[in-house]
Structure 1
Amino acid sequence: MTLARLPRIKVAAVQAAPVFLQAQQSIDKLEGLVAEAASSGAELVAFGESFIAGFPIWNGVLAPVDQHEFHERLVRSAITVGCEETERLGRIAANNNVVLSVGVNELAPHSLGQVFNANLVFDKSGALVNHRRKLVATWYERLTWSHGDANGLAPVDLENWKLGALICGENTNTLARYTLLAQGERLHVASYPPTWPFDPRPGEAEYDLEDSIRLRSVAHSFEGKVFTVVAATALDDDAVNQVSQGDARVERLLRATTTASLVVGPRGQTVAGPLTKDEGIVYGDIDLNDEIVLKQAHDISGTYNRLDIFQLSVDTSRPSPVNLCTNRTDAGEHVQHLTGQGEILDD
């Protein structure tokens, strides 16, 4: 069997602001944007980090004791996988015949105290084909999100697309990136937040979120010889005003960094974009065959590696909060596992 020609794909990176902490209204907005991208020929439509229904921007600018109201609103607007909201997202993908990637705040089915920063990928039939949880919440994000796991840390085939996804700072995690590449990733989605307050001291240059996004995207594309679709969430005045509540310093911090959405090619070149600050859609036409010749020179998961020297082991299980043992007998125990989806599995 010979290698069939790999697909040419039109991709869309949507840079948009959710309806702040309102899940249904954010999905309404997503539906219109997916239809717009599909009408322009996009086959992959990617949205930014926690688009449903908002990145916890207050974590970086308010004292923890002043965050309770926003945290409760985020929990109430979070979704559980398998709920009506995820079914609706699948229908949106199917109705528009697109692959849909979207960031969500995922509420654990077993506890109101556990929220994950998750990314969902739906195929053109509307099936949920990848459900990832961010491995490590970054810095002040830990006030909101739990650490995730490596379940789903694999590319989805999608008729030879081999689509993988990482969330924000995961795109700096060398081992996470290599795990995707070593499983044949060809097309990568990187999602990012609307802002990242970091350096509040007067006279210091603020953290350059836009440049950090560009550096990470170029590094992954160049090292792996893959295409990267970067989708960031936009920051709108409504979110800023709700969090700052008239505090000029908080507003300044929230607006000090600018995000970016773009498409990067396997040479590290910019294929489309970047779109910064404003809402909009970045379109890129990509040819996955471009990796073949480039990997002849530099294939970090194949010829340009020493697999006899380096080995990487990854635990892809999804941790369970409890293992329930019942029917103890002389022959042994019957064990039930409560999964991360709230289901009970029998051994």
Structure 2
Amino acid sequence: MASWLPKVRVAACNVAPVFMDTAKTVHKTIGLIREAATNRADLVVFPETYIPAFPLWAAVASPIDNHSFFGRLAQESLLIDGKEMRSIQQACAKNKIFAHVGFNERSHYSVGCIWNSSVLISDEGKILNHHRKLQPTFYEKLVWSPGDGAGLKVVDTQRLGKIGSLICGENTNPLARWSLIAQGEQLHVTTWPPVWPTRRVQTAPTESEEGASVGKQYDNVAANRTRTAAHCFEAKCFGVLCSAYMDKEARDMIVKHAPSSAETLDNVTQGASLFLDPTGSQVGEQIQGQEGVVYADLDLNACVEPKQFHDTVGGYQRFDIFDLKVDRTRRGPETSFE
């Protein structure tokens, strides 16, 4: 087989932040960047809103009781051009490694506006893409503002090939996914929370649920793998699935705030981090339910052959029938007065 596309070594960090402490989490991030580079990784990936935390309290406590957590998160969230982000950029340049980092982003224009964001940083320390999650999911709407299409970009790099990413539930959005596939994506990064509770633990229906169908707790490991595998299969690309880890510190702080959440948090499935090939099959290492960094060596030349079967941006698409337009304008008050 001809070898004209790069071979990429990727590290996925299945890790917990120093809960709600941006300074310490950034310090930890820089250490993991250094560790991944030492292990010859070309790209290191961090989970959804890794800095400074995923807002799990919104799932397990009443909104009217969560003001203190929201205020703390707003205070600890990062500015895209702030000193914390510059420190991470400098670490990438120093260690000559690309990084994909999930973080809570605050606005220059509103002290209460927070986005679920991610950045792709080059091995020269440059921000190549800045994405804001298009639509918060379920209880996340109580915390994050909706994003825009400015980050729906596939970056054409020499070292990593063509890389794109989506955050958590965006990988269930067929139009968002196809907008990346249509740009020739070869490496797809997906990032996820540590757990995603949807029900309280119970052995029988509550009075309000008598006679109704009682749903199961959301299986985030199965769901996240299914979504990422589907994208890899349709795009004929490699996938990186990177989840966070809920450590005892985070669990105890939330339970102290909402004691009724203890049983729920102690019985949900912790996320997994793993890698998938262009057929949707698993490759490389996997980790789940503990902190650690896993690696995979991905040969992007394997993206070529499957395109013969189903090339959804080539011979297997009907552009005379289907037409998708994507608005990549960055939205916000700064654009309102231009």
**TM-score interval, normalised by the smaller of the two chains:** over 0.9
1:107 and 2:118 aligned: no
**Distance in 1 separating the partners of 2:156 and 2:305:** 21
The equivalent of 1:288 in structure 2 is: 300
In the alignment, residue 171 of structure 2 is paired with which amino acid? N
8 Å contact 1:118–1:134 — kept in the other structure? Answer: yes
Q: Which has the higher contact order (CA 8 A, sep 6+)?
A: 2
**Distance in 2 separating the partners of 1:105 and 1:95:** 24
Select between 51-60 and 252-261 the one with higher mean Cα deviation: 252-261
* SS at structure 2 position matched to 1:151: helix
1:123 and 2:122 aligned: yes
8 Å contact 1:196–1:254 — kept in the other structure? Answer: no
* SS at structure 2 position matched to 1:89: helix
Deviations 1:12-49 (A, max 9, x none): 10010000111110011111111111111100000000
8 Å contact 1:107–1:116 — kept in the other structure? Answer: yes
**Distance in 2 separating the partners of 1:246 and 1:185:** 43
Residue 85 of structure 1 and its aligned partner are, at CA, apart by: 0.9
**Distance in 2 separating the partners of 1:55 and 1:120:** 16
* SS at structure 2 position matched to 1:245: helix
* SS at structure 2 position matched to 1:212: helix
Deviations 1:145-190 (A, max 9, x none): 0000010201111116111010000011110000001011110110
Match of 2:235 among 206, 224, 246: 224
Deviations 1:119-160 (A, max 9, x none): 011000000110000000001001110000010201111116
**Distance in 2 separating the partners of 1:246 and 1:82:** 32
Q: Structure 2-normalised TM-score? A: 0.93
* SS at structure 2 position matched to 1:157: strand
1:311 and 2:326 aligned: no
Unpaired segments ≥5 residues, structure 2: 204-214
The equivalent of 1:166 in structure 2 is: 166
Unpaired segments ≥5 residues, structure 1: 325-335, 338-347
8 Å contact 1:261–1:275 — kept in the other structure? Answer: yes
1:269 and 2:281 aligned: yes
The equivalent of 1:176 in structure 2 is: 176
Deviations 1:28-80 (A, max 9, x none): 11111111111111000000000110000000000011101111110110011
* SS at structure 2 position matched to 1:120: strand
Counterpart mapping for 1:52-63 below 5 A: 52-63=51-62
The equivalent of 1:24 in structure 2 is: 23
Select between 231-240 and 155-164 the one with higher mean Cα deviation: 155-164
In the alignment, residue 111 of structure 1 is paired with which amino acid? S
The equivalent of 2:65 in structure 1 is: 66
The equivalent of 2:133 in structure 1 is: 134
**Distance in 1 separating the partners of 2:174 and 2:257:** 40
The equivalent of 1:298 in structure 2 is: 310
The equivalent of 1:344 in structure 2 is: none
Residue 249 of structure 1 and its aligned partner are, at CA, apart by: 3.5
**Distance in 2 separating the partners of 1:192 and 1:322:** 30
* SS at structure 2 position matched to 1:262: strand
Select between 153-162 and 113-122 the one with higher mean Cα deviation: 153-162
Aligned-pair Cα RMSD in Å: 1.5
**Distance in 2 separating the partners of 1:86 and 1:151:** 19
* SS at structure 2 position matched to 1:116: strand
TM superposition outliers: structure 1 runs of 4+ over 2 Å: 246-249
The equivalent of 2:252 in structure 1 is: 241
In the alignment, residue 110 of structure 2 is paired with which amino acid? S
Relative to 1, partners in 2 of residues 1:323 and 1:46: Cα closer, same or farther, differing over 3 Å? Answer: closer
Select between 199-208 and 79-88 the one with higher mean Cα deviation: 199-208
The equivalent of 1:332 in structure 2 is: none
Q: Structure 1-normalised TM-score? A: 0.90
8 Å contact 2:283–2:296 — kept in the other structure? Answer: yes
Residue 202 of structure 1 and its aligned partner are, at CA, apart by: 1.4
Relative to 1, partners in 2 of residues 1:107 and 1:297: Cα closer, same or farther, differing over 3 Å? Answer: same
The equivalent of 1:345 in structure 2 is: none
Relative to 1, partners in 2 of residues 1:201 and 1:280: Cα closer, same or farther, differing over 3 Å? Answer: closer
**Distance in 1 separating the partners of 2:219 and 2:245:** 16
The equivalent of 1:279 in structure 2 is: 291
**Distance in 2 separating the partners of 1:217 and 1:246:** 34
8 Å contact 1:8–1:288 — kept in the other structure? Answer: yes
**Distance in 2 separating the partners of 1:40 and 1:180:** 29
Residue 226 of structure 1 and its aligned partner are, at CA, apart by: 0.4
Residue 215 of structure 1 and its aligned partner are, at CA, apart by: 0.5
Residue 201 of structure 1 and its aligned partner are, at CA, apart by: 5.2
